[in-house]
Amino acid sequence: MSVTWVLRPEPGPGAEAVVRPVRVGELPADLPAAFLTGTGFSGEVGEVLQLPGTPVTVLLGVGPRDRTDRDAIRAAAAGLARAVGAYRRLAVHPPGPDLRPLVEGYLLGGYRFTRYRSGAAAPTDQLVEVLTPGTPDAARGLFEGRRLAEAVLLARDLVNEPGEALTPTVFADRAVELAAATGLECEVWDGRRIADERLGGLLGVSRGSLEPPRLVKLGYRPDGRADGTAGAARIALVGKGVTFDAGGLSLKPNAQLAGMKADMAGAAAVLGAMSVLDALDCPVAVDAWLPLTENMPNADPIRVGDVLVMRNGTTVEICHADAEGRLIMADALVLAGETGPQAIIDIATLTDAAAIALGRRVAALMGTDDTLVERLRAAGTRAGEPLWPLPLPDAYRPQLSSRIADLVNYTLGTRHGTALLAGHFLREFVPPGIPWAHLDIQGTALADGTDAEWVAGATGFGVRTLAEFLTGHPHPPV
């Protein structure tokens, strides 16, 4: 679906359908009540009923009157998009003054990944007239919703790509293109530079793959602070980019290999969020580090029992080759810390334990700073991406000790608290004194089915939270 949006006070000539929002218990009085009751349409969120005519009347359920949250409007708009995708011209009475969730939900809910379908129809070019006076607030809501949705869809496209198509090299190339198009600084390190920079974790994991690793560094600077220094606030992001995780020598069984092309969803979320900062006038400077590699048992894979030396000199005994994400994240966190940011936020498909604890709709949030954690959680709530805080108990830290090195990458012999142990491991690579938060999106990166703005497959989870947090409403991020 390719949508052009316009604001108009009345439907233009040629609108094929006009959408009317309907609240529960407030069925339109100008339509026959007995007929409406017979259809089963009640106005619950996302219900759609099309009534023949010229133009077609589309009733859109937006829930009870007391549901005024953005989530309800997003969900309703997503259901609408799936029902009316074939119309070329559509006029929509908005359910409320805030157009952002309407546009977001519509574009996210109507998303389909069709690149590999033979015979897929070309997307419909659709004109959507939002029936509201063109006030500055309306125009802004429309613009923000559109740009945020585009950023999420960018991440979804990357995550839905097969691992063979989206190698570390290809991902880095996409980042370069996107940076050029969205006003970001971008630098790509190849395998040799990664070795020169002593990124022992990233280099170690990549040794098992025939595909070379990449480290992508992105920078956003607010207008008027070209160098991003001189007192400008600065936030650092780190996103896990394992473009396919076979488990390395600790090879996964087949059932667990499914979906492992999505192990770069953290990097995709960071790239998506970075792409929208300039358009949304983000007030703070943001740097991002994306370590990109496969985790394969080919080439010269790290052995279980090997010791890697990370960028900050910390030595890590490899007890499980499938706990690779934290190894590449560790190096990137060290790089992020070296620039002295006011906060570091990382996002990764890191542990099954996070998915088991919180399921498919809620991501795990950990960190060292209560204010940062709370602001991220609040940003997630506003953005429609629920996050729930988990602790990092000091009592668990000794489980990372190794007999021969500074740390183990994985604690053998326990299934307990492994999301928290992974969090503890990452924390070791964040300089003391820099507030840090960690998002484990293992459960939320992929959706099993289609519901509200979630479409089966990649979700782009994290893009909206990071963008909401960084653009700083209602609180500046730092």
Q: How far is the CB of 346 from Mn ion (least distance, A)?
A: 14
In whole angstroms, what is the distance from residue 374 CA to residue 378 CA?
6
Q: Contact at 8 Å (CB) between 158 and 445? A: no
- The tokens for 312 are 């900050």
- Of 281, 194, 292, 283, the closest CA to residue 240 belongs to 292
Catalytic residue, chosen from 8, 252, 361, 397, is 252
Active site residue 240: no
In degrees, rounded to 5, the angle at the alpha carbon of residue 285 between the alpha carbons of residues 281 and 287 is 120
Active site residue 252: yes
* CB of 98 or CB of 324, closer to Mn ion: 324
Side chain identity, residue 380: G
Containing 348, the helix (H) or strand (E) segment is strand 343-348
Nearest 10 degrees: CA dihedral of 271, 273, 278, 280?
160
* CB of 60 or CB of 242, closer to Mn ion: 242
- Of 204, 187, 180, the closest CA to residue 295 belongs to 204
Q: How far is the CB of 348 from Mn ion (least distance, A)?
A: 8
Q: Contact at 8 Å (CB) between 268 and 217? A: no
Catalytic residue, chosen from 70, 100, 214, 326, is 326
* CB of 298 or CB of 371, closer to Mn ion: 298
Q: Phi, psi at residue 206, to the nearest 5°?
A: -70, -15
Angstrom distances, CA of residue 111 to CA of 79, 82, 123, 379 = 11, 9, 10, 23
Q: How far is the CB of 209 from Mn ion (least distance, A)?
A: 13
* CB of 78 or CB of 292, closer to Mn ion: 292
User: Residues interacting with Mn ion, by CB under 5 A?
Assistant: 242, 245, 263, 322, 324-325
Q: How far is the CB of 451 from Mn ion (least distance, A)?
A: 26
Q: How far is the CB of 247 from Mn ion (least distance, A)?
A: 6
Long-range contacts of 172-176 (CB under 8 A, 24+ apart): 172/214, 172/216, 172/292, 174/271, 175/216, 175/218, 175/271, 175/290
Angstrom distances, CA of residue 215 to CA of 208, 218, 220, 318 = 17, 10, 17, 22
Helix axes 463-471, 370-383, angle to 10 degrees: 120
* CB of 322 or CB of 453, closer to Mn ion: 322
Q: Within 362-416, where are the H helices?
A: 370-383
Q: How far is the CB of 271 from Mn ion (least distance, A)?
A: 18
> Which residues does residue 58 pair with via DSSP β-bridges, in sequence order?
19, 50
* CB of 145 or CB of 247, closer to Mn ion: 247
* CB of 250 or CB of 399, closer to Mn ion: 250
Looking at the annotation, which residues are catalytic? Answer: 252, 326
